[in-house]
Structures are given as C-alpha cells and as structure tokens.
A and B are shown apart, each in its own frame.
Chain A
Amino acid sequence: IAGITQAPTSQILAAGRRMTLRCTQDMRHNAMYWYRQDLGLGLRLIHYSNTAGTTGKGEVPDGYSVSRANTDDFPLTLASAVPSQTSVYFCASSEHFGITEAFFGQGTRLTVV
C-alpha cells in the first residue's frame, strides 16, 4: 500500500541523547515535511524539503536537523534531546511543495525525560 511510513511509532528518550526519526514515502512525491503537534499549538512546521538534495527551515527548526539524500527518505535528527521536544511528530509529503495536498504518516510519539 502506497503511503508514508514513520519509525519508531513511539519512543522514550533520555535528555541529552541523540535520536533520528525515520520517514519513508513511496509515492515519488517531490516535497516532504516534518511537523510537531502539541496540545493547543496545533501542527507546526519544523523543516521541509522541496526536492531531493534541498532542505529548508520551518517555523520551529531549532534543535532539529534534516537531510534529503534521495526522494523517498527524510530523516529528522534531534542532536541532543530536551524535554521541550516531547511531542507527536508527523512526517508528510506532497507532490509539489505547498501547491498540492499533503499526506501524513502515522506519527511518532516522542517523550524526552
């Protein structure tokens, strides 16, 4: 079934540890996105990629990094996790950046303790 797969689905992480959230899509979409969702704040864009090889900063990029080595994969790395990064993280993709509808992965629930 075509779509977006995120891993892990949930994780408890000690503060200060490094963590990479994985995202893979098989729809050959050009654009990919990472959002975090927090109660009362909605979905906020962390980083995005227009196409393979390019990335850009979203609304809340600090403490996160991304790479886009190929079309399918868009990992999100927390270099040194802090409790404020406790959130639900969603990866999404769209055929083109911002123009067409975004499709979301199932989410990763991350708790930093």
Chain B
Amino acid sequence: QKEVEQNSGPLSVPEGAIASLNCTYSDRGSQSFFWYRQYSGKSPELIMSIYSNGDKEDGRFTAQLNKASQYVSLLIRDSQPSDSATYLCAVKGDGTASKLTFGTGTRLQVTL
C-alpha cells in the first residue's frame, strides 16, 4: 500500500462546478497535510495546509481533514479553466524527523 494515495484522474468538471479531490494516507500518526498545485511543466506550489480535523477555507478552496478515516480532501468551488492542473497531496508523519510524502497527484480538467 502506498503511503499517500490519490486517484490519478483525469477528473473532468465543467466550469463553475465544484471539484472534489481526495487523498488517503496510511500513517495514522500523520500530523500535517498539504495540497500543492502543479501546472504542466512547472514546479509544485502550495495552495492549502491543514493540521486539525475539520474544514479550512481559503477563497474558493476548502481543505477537509478526517484523521479517524485517514482522509484529506480539497474542494474547489466555482472551478475555472485556470484551475486545470495536477493537484498533489502531501503528508508529514509524526515527529520532527519524519519527512513529507507526496501522492502521485490527481489531474483536474475544467471544461468550458
């Protein structure tokens, strides 16, 4: 089992719709969770971080964390064509020595 799992997609949503991206992780002691966006041929850029159970909203983005289910998601409201990219989930385990582990990413396509 991979440490951080994501559906590779592509996930296709129409413009204006809500895109829901999901991520599961295997280390129950994980403490920090991040969503990165990566445009084709570019480097990953951080868009959301979440550390405690529940929802965290930032503009059109909402991160949701459920540690009991080992599940983190990213919702993008009012999806725009410029949101078309690969979204990487990253998880940091427990302890200062643990490293950041990335999922393979979900490719999102927002159609006109």
Question: Complex: how many Å from CA A102 to CA B34?
Answer: 9
Q: How far is the CA of A3 from the CA of B98 in the complex (A)?
A: 24
Of B37-45, B56-64, B66-74, the one contacting chain A is B37-45
Q: Which residue of B lies closest to A41 (CB)?
A: B104
Residues from chain A with a CB closer than 8 A to the CB of B19 are none
Nearest Cβ in chain B — how far from A29, in angstroms?
A: 13
Using CB atoms, name the residue of chain B closest to A39.
B104
CB distance from A48 to the nearest CB of B (A): 7
- The residue in chain B whose Cβ has the minimal distance to the Cβ of A42 is B104
User: Are B96's CB and A90's CB within 8 A?
Assistant: no
Q: Is the CB of A98 within 8 A of B96?
A: yes
Pick the residue among A40, A41, A43, A48 that contacts B44 (CB under 8 A): A43
In this assembly, does A101 line the interface, its C-beta being within 8 Å of a C-beta of chain B?
yes
Interface size on B, as a range, is: 20 to 34
B32 in contact with A99 (CB, 8 Å): yes
Q: Which residue of B lies closest to A38 (CB)?
A: B104
A98 in contact with B43 given A41-B104, A42-B88, A42-B104 (CB within 8 Å):
no
Contacting residues, chain B, for A58 (C-beta < 8 A): 99
Interface size class of A (residues with CB under 8 A): 20 to 34
- Interface membership of B17, Cβ < 8 A: no
Question: Are the CB atoms of A90 and B43 closer together than 8 Å?
Answer: yes
Could you tell me the distance between the alpha carbons of A52 and B46 in the complex, rounded to whole angstroms? 24
Looking across the interface, which residue of chain B has its beta carbon closest to that of A105? B43
Contacts of A104 in B (CB 8 A): 43-45
Interface residues of B in 50-91 (CB under 8 A from A): 88, 90
Partner of A102, one of B42, B46, B97: B46
In this assembly, does A64 line the interface, its C-beta being within 8 Å of a C-beta of chain B? no
Q: A98-B98, A101-B34 are in contact. Are A43 and B45 (CB under 8 A)?
A: no
Subset of 13 A-B contacts with CB under 8 Å: A40-B8, A40-B104, A42-B102, A58-B99, A98-B32, A98-B97, A99-B96, A101-B34, A101-B46, A104-B43, A104-B44, A105-B43, A106-B43
Given contacts A43-B102, A45-B101, A98-B97, 6 further A-B pairs with CB under 8 A are: A42-B88, A42-B105, A45-B100, A58-B99, A98-B99, A101-B34
